Chain A
Amino acid sequence: QVQLVQSGAEVKKPGASVKVSCKASGYSFMNYYIHWVRQAPGQRVEWLGVFNPVGDTIYTQNVQGRVTMTSDTSTRTVYLELSSLTFEDTAVYFCARGPPGDLYYFDSWGQGTLVTVSS
């Protein structure tokens, strides 16, 4: 079965960077996108971008310049790195799988990684 397993919770200071991993299994890794979404308390769910294993990676304008999505295909792992963290980056970060194409939807999700930015 499809599984996305994320790395554990992180606590970071303002201005630092965080790197979250998402290990995929149970499907053909190269045939699906991996999206990153975050959910902060009291805020709307926010899409951060999409990693395409065979094409371009696209980031939302809100975090462009601070976000990088990469992968290690040998381990079927996708990484989200977010730099210059502020308190507003405190959220649960999810990776989610989606089929290729322009009309994104997310059919399997990781368990979520809590990132806390605190001084």
Chain B
Amino acid sequence: SYILTQAPSVSVAPGETATITCGGDKIGTKAVNWYQQEPGQAPLLVMYYDDRRPSGIPERFSGSNSGRTATLTISRVELGDEADYYCQVCNSISDVVFGGGTKLTVL
């Protein structure tokens, strides 16, 4: 089965840039989606098809995908960005895979 690898945690100071990565074999050939999840809440879509921002998501959020790594970048990080972030791809129409999640801590 296809595996997505995320670092368990990332820490960043307010105002700095957070880089959250998602690794997978030839992930650059797949469409990667990203979700933000705060404790006790449902996930929220923050990026789809690698680099497309849903309506209502700040321009501070951007995405890229190439080779073996997809990246979610959050510029000018705010305290409110503190959450778990998950990447997700479709390996086939019957196989959807999520990464293990990265906990973003804003120091």
Chain A residues within CB distance 8 Å of chain B: 35, 44-47, 49, 58-61, 94, 96, 102-107, 109-112
Contact = CB atoms under 8 A, between A and B. Distances in A.
A44 to B, nearest CB: 6
Contacts, number: 55
A104 B45 CA distance: 12
| Interface footprint category on B | 20 to 34
A110 B88 contact: no
The 9 closest A-B pairs by CB, nearest first: A47-B96, A109-B42, A45-B98, A105-B33, A105-B48, A103-B31, A104-B90, A58-B94, A107-B45
Nearest to B33: A105
Contact of B94 (A44, A59, A110, A112): A59
Interface in B51-98: 54, 86, 88, 90, 93-98
